[in-house]
Structure 1
């Protein structure tokens, strides 16, 4: 099973930093920064830091794990992190550099039902989790488990 990491990134304005993916000829959707754990990553948090840096040009302050979910091919570990700064020019990696992969636009979105409900946010498990917590007015920091590696 492929191991993946994703970050629910909170900006200084307490908004979510998401990636708007647009594929050539495809329908745009939003997703969390993250990706596959590589063999040379020390652990899940190191993989997450690397992925966030590649995809946002910023450094995350990882607060803890929010959830883990599986599908038929991969296991996703979703962490909560704060990000103070990000940079379009600091982004790296094959997905950013190859125009055949489409565009990866960074968007700040409110953690509120009205802002999240109309977005095609993937994966669906993350969308459901964020919509549920927004509707309940839950503080994501309270839900993050800092003891999970």
Structure 2
């Protein structure tokens, strides 16, 4: 079974980084930084840090595993909470950015609040629900 890793990235300002996807014929939606675990990745955590480097040219610190789920394709997805101090979307290097047929990728920094997350068409929907519940309860950023 293919595995995917994603990072709910918290910035020093208490915001989070998400990628807005704009594709022809599809309503815009947002995703969390991440991607597939490759055979060359020693661990899921190593795969996640590689994806952060590729997608936003940043160095993240993984705080903890936040959520696990199986997506509609039967892939196991692991969502981690991570912190980051610097990133540079202009220097992203992921292979998906070289393909013009994949639409636009727009990095956005949004407030890490229940309302801001609810206002996004954040996919998968399950992680939107998990994030909003964790924010409401105060558990997301708790040590």
**TM band (smaller chain):** over 0.9
Q: Equivalent residue for 2:8?
A: 8
Q: 2-side partners of 1:9 and 1:50: how far apart?
A: 14
3-state secondary structure, aligned to 2:78: strand
Residues 129-144 of structure 1: pairs in structure 2 closer than 5 A: 129-142=130-143
Give the structure-1-normalised TM-score: 0.89
4+ residue runs over 6 A deviation: none
Gap regions ≥5 residues in structure 1: 143-149
C-alpha contact 1:4 1:74 (8 A) present in aligned 2: yes
Q: Equivalent residue for 1:146?
A: none
3-state secondary structure, aligned to 2:120: coil
Farther-moved stretch of structure 1 (27-36 vs 17-26): 17-26
For residue 117 of structure 1, report the CA deviation from its aligned partner. 1.2
Q: 2-side partners of 1:78 and 1:122: how far apart?
A: 12
Number of aligned positions between the proteins: 142
3-state secondary structure, aligned to 2:16: strand
Residues 1-149 of structure 1: pairs in structure 2 closer than 5 A: 1-72=1-72, 73-142=74-143
Q: 2-side partners of 1:101 and 1:139: how far apart?
A: 32
1:12-52 per-position Cα deviation (integer Å, ceiling 9, x unaligned): 10111111111123211011000100011111011000111
Across the aligned residues of Structure 1 and Structure 2, the Cα RMSD in angstroms comes to 1.3
Give the structure-2-normalised TM-score: 0.93
For residue 82 of structure 1, report the CA deviation from its aligned partner. 0.6
